[in-house]
């Protein structure tokens, strides 16, 4: 899976999760940029990404997600 495909997938996922069609997953996008992205939504983002890309993140990885870029990189590392 290419990086572009991962970002496209994350974009659709964020749009569904936050009911906003103008959201675009970019490397620098963070939770404070999106109204409603609180700690519970953060978990939904992570689990939705796990399901969509068929991966399971470790507790350490989850702690390290600071922005969409770090999430996308981890997925890319896994799927190579």
24 binds another protein (CB under 8 A): no
Query: In this chain, which of 4, 19, 22, 28 binds another protein, going by CB under 8 A?
Result: 19
Q: Pattern 36-55, binding to another protein, x per CB under 8 A?
A: ---xx--xx--xx-xx--xx
* Closest residue by Cα to residue 75 from 18, 17, 5: 5
Helix axes 68-79, 3-18, angle to 10 degrees: 130
Burial per residue of 2-23, b for 16 or more beta-carbon CB atoms within 10 angstroms, e otherwise: eeeebbebbbebbeebbeeeeb
Give the interface size with another protein as a residue count (CB under 8 A): 18
Residue 62 found at the interface with another protein (CB under 8 A): yes
Q: Which residues bind another protein (CB under 8 A)?
A: 13, 16-17, 19, 21, 39-40, 43-44, 47-48, 50-51, 54-56, 59, 62
């Amino acid at each position: 899976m290419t990086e572009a495909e991962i970002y496209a997938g994350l974009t659709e996922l964020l749009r569904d999760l936050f009911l906003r069609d103008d959201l675009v997953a970019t490397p620098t996008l963070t939770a404070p940029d999106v109204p409603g992205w609180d700690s519970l939504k953060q978990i939904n983002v992570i689990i939705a990404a796990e399901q969509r890309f068929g991966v399971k993140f470790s507790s350490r990885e989850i702690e390290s997600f600071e922005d969409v870029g770090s999430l996308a990189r981890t997925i890319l590392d896994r799927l190579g």
